[in-house]
Structure 1
Amino acid sequence: MSRQQLPPQIKKVDVLDRKTGKMVVRYQLTVDSGLDPASGKRRQVRRRYATEKMARDALSEVTSAAITGTFVPRKAVTVEQLSADWLASLHNARATTVNAYVYALAPLRERHGGLPVQKLSRPDLDRLLIDLRDGGTTTAKGHTRRRWSARSLNKAVDAWRSMLAYGVERRELAHNVAAAMRKVPRARSEMQSYTPDEIGQVLRAADRDRNGHLWYLALSGLRRGEIAGLRWSDIDLDGRTLSVERNRVQAGAGNVVEGDPKTLSSRRTLPLDDGLAAVLRRASARYAQERLALGADHHDSGYVAVNAAGEPYTPDTLTRMWLKMAKTAKVRPIRLHDARHSCGTAMHLRGVPVAVIAKWLGHADPSITVSLYVHSQDDALKAASATLGEVLTAGH
C-alpha cells in the first residue's frame, strides 16, 4: 500500500534539536485559522510536531475551529492574570461572594499563578485538590493550611470551573479543563437543636454573661452573620423592633466582610417581646457605660456584638464564645447556627404556622423551613408515640 501524501498545509522539515544539538525530522503545519476578532485580519498558524499523525490531528482541529469561529491562538496569559480579570468582571456579585472566590482561588494562584493558563492541566487541578484535602499547603504569607473540608474543596472546584469558563468565553482557552471535575462527597450531618429545657439552661447562663444578649439573639433565630452585623441603630427599644440590615461573614482567617443580608427575604424587621427588649436594654446601657469609662480609647463601633473596648467580634470569635457558653451552661455543644434551628423547632412545637416561622427566620420559601429547620425532637416523638399508643389500645 502506497504511503499517503502529505496535505499541502503540512511540510516535512529538518530542524536542529536545541537539547541534543542534532538534526531531527519535524512536521510543520501552516494553516489559515480564520479572522482575528480583534483586528479583523486573517490569521495563520505555524506549528511543528514530532510526528505526522500529530500534525494531521492538529490540522483537523484548527480547521474545524476556524470554520466554527472557536479557534484560540496560543497566548501567554497566566493563571494569575486570568484569575484577577475574572474577579474584576464580577460586577454584580456581592462583596461576600467575591471574597469567597478570592479565598477559593488563592491556592491555585499561589501554586500556578505564573503558568500560562493554556498549559494548566486537569492533573494540576487534581493534585492541588488532593493536597488541600490532606492539608499542609503553604499560603502566600508562609502559613501552613489546615485540611480543607469537603465544603471548602467544592467551593474551590466551583471557583476554578467558573474562572476557566470565563477564559473560554474570552477566547483565552479552547476548553475548560475543570469542566468535568467531580465534587467531593460531603458527609451530611443532621442539624441539632436544643430542647426547651436546654434553651432555659443556656439563657440562665447567658444572664450571667457579659455577652449574654448575643445568645438571646441566636436563640431568637438570627444567623451568625446577622448577629455580627447588627448595630444599635438597627434596634428600636421604644418601638420594640429589631431590623436585620446587614451581614458580616468570615472570608478566610482574619478577614471579615460586611454586606447585605444573605437574601432579599433575610432583610426583615422583627418585633421584640418584653423579655428580649429588657435584655437588649441592659446590654445597651452597659455599652454606654463602657464607652464612657474608656473615653477616647473606646472604639464606639456601634455594633451590638463587641468587646469591652467597642471592637466588633469576628464571626469566628462568636462561634468560639458560643461553644464556651454551652460548656458553662452544661448543655451539649451544638453549632451556633443550630441555635437558630432551635428557634424554628421551638416555634413549630408550639404550633406556630410554618409560613410565619419562615418569615421570622428570613426564608423566601416555607419549604426551606420545613426541610432544613423544623424537625420534631425526641421528646415530641415520644409524646406522639404515647398518643398513638392510647389510640391503638383504646378498644382493648
Structure 2
Amino acid sequence: MARQRLTIATFGEIGYLSGPNDRVVARARYRDWDGKNRLVQATGDTRKQAERALKAKLADRSLFQPTVSDLSPDSPFPDLVTYWLEDLELEGRISKRTLQLYERNMQTLVLPVFEGLTLREIGVARCDHFLKQLAKQSYNRAKQARVVLRLALGLAVRHEVLPRNPMDHVSRMRRPASTPNALTPAEVNAVRAAIAYWEAGCSYSGPRPDGQLGAIIEVMLGTSARIGEVLAIRRRDIDVTRATPSIRISGTIVSHRGEPTTRQDHPKTAKSRRTVAIPSFTAEAVRRRLTRLEDTSLDALLFCSREGTPLTTNNVRRQLRHVLDLAGITGITPHMFRRTVATAINEQGGVELAAELLGHTDPKITIQHYIRRNEMVNPATAAMLDRVFSKDE
C-alpha cells in the first residue's frame, strides 16, 4: 500500500503505511510531557481502524509529568488513599492523633463507597451525591468525609494525576440548626452532689474513689479548659499562693493507638496556651489535691494514676458517666462544662471575654458552638410598653 498522509490538528500529521499481514500502520509524532516529540504508532485492518487505534493510544498517554507515586487517572482509589496517608506522615505537619482520625474516617466513611472506583471515575456528581446521602444520616459524618476526600483528591491534583479536584465544586453543606447545651447552676450543683456522694463511699461501685473526679470537675468549671488540658496540668503550672491564684494551660493529654498515654507540651491551638485566674472553689480543690500528691517534683501531674502516670480522657469520661448514671443524671459530658463556663461568662462579661477565657481566636466560634442562647428578652421592654399603651384610669 502506498504511503498516504492526513493532517490532524490535535496530533499533527498522521502517516499510513502497510504493515505485516497486509495490516495498516498509522503513526504520528507526539509532543510528550517533557516537550520532546516521539513517534507513536498503531495498527488496524483498515486505515480507519488504525487511525482510531492511534488516537486511542495517544489519548491514553499521560498529559502530565509522571510522579514517584506511580499513580495515574486509572489507578484504583485505595492506591491514592495509601499514598496520601504516607504523604501526610512524611510531611509531619499534623499530629499523630489527627492522622489516625483521618485514617479512621477514610476507612469507615469513604472507602466503602469509593474503593471500587478509579480516580478518573470520581467526578463532581458522584462526590456531591455521596455527601448528600451521608448528610441525611449525620451532618458531622458527612463533614468528616468531605475533609478527607478533599485532601486525598487534592494530593492527586498537586501531583498532576488529576486535572482538577471534584470536591471544589460540590454543593455547600448546610449545618442543621442547633443550640449549644449548657448546664444551669442548679444542674452543676446536682453533679457536684452526685460526685461527692460517690466519693464519700455512700454509693460504692467499681474501683475505690480516689477523690480526683470532683477536683477535675472544679478545675474545668474554674478554667474552661478541655478535659485533656486539665489532666495535663503540672505542679509547675499552678500558683495558689498569691492573692489571685492562677493555673497555666500549657499542654494536653494524648493517647495514640498502640502507644502509652503521654502529656503533649502544647494544647490544641497556639492561643489555647494561656494563664487563667481561678475562682475560690477551684483554688480550694487544687490545694486539697496538692496535699495528696506524693511526687513533689515540679513536673508532677496534678491528676494522675497511683503510679504517677497520666490519666486517659476516655477513662475520666467513663468514670463521670458511671457516677452520674448512679445518680440518675444522664447526657452530661466533660465538654459540657466548657460550654457552661462560656455561657456564664458571656452573660456576666460579654462574648469577647468568654472567647478569651476559652482560648478562641474568633468569638464567632464561641457564639456558634459554646454559648447557650438566653431566650429571656430584656424586661425593660415591659416598662416601655406600659408607658406607651397603659390604659387610661
TM norm structure 1: 0.66
Structure 1: runs of 5+ lacking an equivalent:
16-22, 135-147, 293-299
Query: Separation in 1 of the partners of 2:255 and 2:372?
Result: 28
**Match of 1:236, as an amino acid?**
D
**Is the 1:76–1:116 Cα contact (8 Å) retained in structure 2?**
no
**Match of 1:191, as an amino acid?**
P
Q: 1:219 aligns with which of 212, 218, 221?
A: 221
Where do 1:2-151 residues align within 5 Å? 7=8, 8-9=13-14, 31-36=29-34, 56=55, 59=58, 70=64, 76-77=70-71, 78-79=79-80, 81-106=82-107, 121=122, 150-151=139-140
Which of 367-376 and 6-15 deviates more? 6-15
Query: Separation in 2 of the partners of 1:12 and 1:346?
Result: 86
Q: 1:152 to 1:370 in 2, by over 3 A?
A: closer
Q: 1:80 to 1:370 in 2, by over 3 A?
A: closer
Where do 1:1-396 residues align within 5 Å? 7=8, 8-9=13-14, 31-36=29-34, 56=55, 59=58, 70=64, 76-77=70-71, 78-79=79-80, 81-106=82-107, 121=122, 150-176=139-165, 179-180=168-169, 186-208=175-197, 209=199, 210=211, 211-220=213-222, 221-239=224-242, 240-248=245-253, 258=264, 260-288=266-294, 302-328=300-326, 331=329, 333-349=331-347, 351-377=348-374, 381=376, 384=377, 387-393=380-386, 395-396=390-391
Query: Separation in 2 of the partners of 1:47 and 1:255?
Result: 60
Q: CA offset at residue 31 of structure 1?
A: 5.0
**Match of 1:88, as an amino acid?**
E
Query: Separation in 1 of the partners of 2:110 and 2:351?
Result: 45
Tell me the alpha carbon deviations over residues 66-95 of structure 1, each in whole angstroms, 9 at most, x when there is no partner: 5xxx46599844435522442134343344
Query: Separation in 1 of the partners of 2:130 and 2:257?
Result: 17
- State how many pairs are aligned: 349
* Greater Rg by CA: 2
Q: 1:262 to 1:29 in 2, by over 3 A?
A: farther
Q: 1:225 to 1:356 in 2, by over 3 A?
A: same
**Match of 1:363, as an amino acid?**
H
**Is the 1:103–1:252 Cα contact (8 Å) retained in structure 2?**
no
Secondary structure at 1:189 match in 2 = coil
Which of 247-256 and 232-241 deviates more? 247-256
**Is the 1:90–1:98 Cα contact (8 Å) retained in structure 2?**
no
Secondary structure at 2:349 match in 1 = coil
Which of 104-113 and 189-198 deviates more? 104-113
Corresponding residue for residue 202 of structure 2: none
Secondary structure at 1:242 match in 2 = strand
Secondary structure at 2:276 match in 1 = strand
Query: Separation in 1 of the partners of 2:275 and 2:43?
Result: 67
Which of 263-272 and 43-52 deviates more? 43-52
**Match of 1:370, as an amino acid?**
I
Query: Separation in 2 of the partners of 1:308 and 1:377?
Result: 43
Q: CA offset at residue 191 of structure 1?
A: 1.0
Q: CA offset at residue 269 of structure 1?
A: 0.4
Tell me the alpha carbon deviations over residues 179-228 of structure 1, each in whole angstroms, 9 at most, x when there is no partner: 55557765443211111221222233344542111111222311233224
**Match of 2:316, as an amino acid?**
L
Q: CA offset at residue 342 of structure 1?
A: 0.7
Query: Separation in 2 of the partners of 1:263 and 1:319?
Result: 22
Q: 1:310 to 1:364 in 2, by over 3 A?
A: same
Tell me the alpha carbon deviations over residues 374-396 of structure 1, each in whole angstroms, 9 at most, x when there is no partner: 33445xx1xx4655334423544
Tell me the alpha carbon deviations over residues 223-261 of structure 1, each in whole angstroms, 9 at most, x when there is no partner: 233224333332233342211112335677999684632
Secondary structure at 1:166 match in 2 = helix
